[in-house]
A and B are shown apart, each in its own frame.
Chain A
Amino acid sequence: MLTLSDLSCSRGHKPLFAPVNLTLQAGQALHLEGDNGVGKTSLLRIVGGLSPADAGEVRWMGHSTREDPQAFRTALFYLGHALSLKEELSALENLLSDAAVAGRALTPADAVTALARMGWRGREHLPLRVMSQGQKRRTALARLWASQAPLWVLDEPFVALDVKAVDALRARMAAHVTQGGMVLFTSHQAVSLADAAGQALDVRHYRLEPAA
């Protein structure tokens, strides 16, 4: 369970958003909404432990993530705006080295399967430098198929994806949620999730309000 209590953050002595209080239970997806510049990315970075909060805390399974970062990082999959891809490496090499750094076991065969899920057919061995922005994003998101982390924190995962890739990503998020995972994501579009049987899943919404 992820709990954010009275979380606040400021830029230049001015609070960015009104203090955030929310909990995310196993099997829930939460869509974080808010206008441009209200601090969605900043909030996700605080949750991921990359930036410190001005006040309040993030708790994972009841423990502060600042005090016990190790346990939290094992459970976390974080993907920010920067995709963490190397242009000189191929999609496959990127996926494999990334999994090893994150401490996930991933075989090349599984990596190819993960890429295929995100619409890669062949060309896994070409350097990413020659690929389009959408294909790079697909590569970064293919990590979700290789991840066993229960908590996903995704910053604008749907940007620059075509309709097929958006559907694949939604299906993956839905599968993760039905298996008891948690997804915290931002998006400017409405996102609906449905399980394998086509049953709509409940996506919670949280609107980030600017500080008064």
Chain B
Amino acid sequence: MSAPSVHAFMAVLQRDLLLAMRRKSEVLTAVFFFVVVAALFPLGIGPELNTLRLVAPGVLWVGALLSSMLALQRLFEADFRDGTLEQMAVSPTPLALLVAAKLLAHWLVSGLPLVLLAPVLGLQFDLPVEALLTLTLALLVGTPILSLVGGIGAALTLGVRGGGVLLSLLVLPLFVPVLVFGAGAVEAQASGLGSQAHFSILLAMLLPAAFFGPWACASALRIALE
């Protein structure tokens, strides 16, 4: 990779992070949504600790999934409207690389906070320390998959009227395996089976997503620009 390409990658990453800092409310909405969903469940279910422990991984994972869906819709929207995407497309740096920078920035502002908040929110469900650790690790591996696969959906539905609903229909089924193995990791750990197999499968999903995701996004974005 040449020096200007690395420079361009860093510039996109830096710009998106800076924009996230200046548009705090947009970023915080998705994170706040996650916190509220996770906080409402124990109140709704009641103080039965065994039930809470049982539903905790599923509730937190579904919360993370829906929260990342909320954030996805804005991933390329602003860049598409103000012409930034056009400039990225005519840049000599490969579009896939610039998109990878955008996806990384997106995960840092919408995925990483969920990972960091999960152990705190897990306390409300009376999860033991080992389960909290497994949950956090599973989210750390799983949320990038949500950003990468979701990014493809966001790129495909860009500029489509009612794209938000279409995006959910397109992307949510693809999130199912991540949900199953992400939440399953905590249960497997709690039942004494060990969560290694679940982590292997999550990683096996992450690696191809990281490799092909930006490339697929870039192709979809070029179609959206035509």
Contact = CB atoms under 8 A, between A and B. Distances in A.
B8 A82 contact: no
Nearest to B23: A88
Given A84-B84, A101-B12, A76 B226 contact: no
B88 interface: yes
A157 interface: no
A180 interface: no
Q: Is the interface of A mostly helix, strand, loop or mixed?
A: loop
A49 interface: yes
B89 A50 contact: yes
A80 interface: yes
**Most chain A beta-carbon contacts within 10 A, residue among B22, B81, B92:** B92
A80 to B, nearest CB: 6
Given A48-B90, A89-B15, A89-B18, A101 B82 contact: no
B8 A101 contact: yes
Contact of B7 (A74, A86, A103): A103
A86 B82 contact: yes
B81 A82 contact: yes
Interface residues of B, number: 28
Interface of A: 48-52, 70, 73-74, 76, 78, 80-89, 93, 96-98, 100-103, 127
**Secondary structure at chain B's binding surface: helix, strand, loop or mixed?**
helix
Contact of B93 (A85, A89, A101): A101
Interface string B69-98: 000000000000111101111111100001
Given A73-B92, A97-B15, A101-B93, A50 B10 contact: no
Question: What 9 A-B pairs come out closest when comparing CB atoms?
Answer: A82-B83, A100-B11, A84-B83, A88-B22, A103-B4, A84-B87, A73-B92, A74-B92, A97-B15
Interface in B1-42: 4-5, 7-8, 10-12, 14-15, 18-19, 22-23
Contact of A50 (B5, B18, B86): B86
Contacts of B90: 48-50, 73, 76, 78, 102
11 contacts: A49-B90, A51-B225, A51-B226, A85-B82, A86-B84, A89-B15, A89-B19, A101-B93, A102-B8, A102-B91, A103-B7
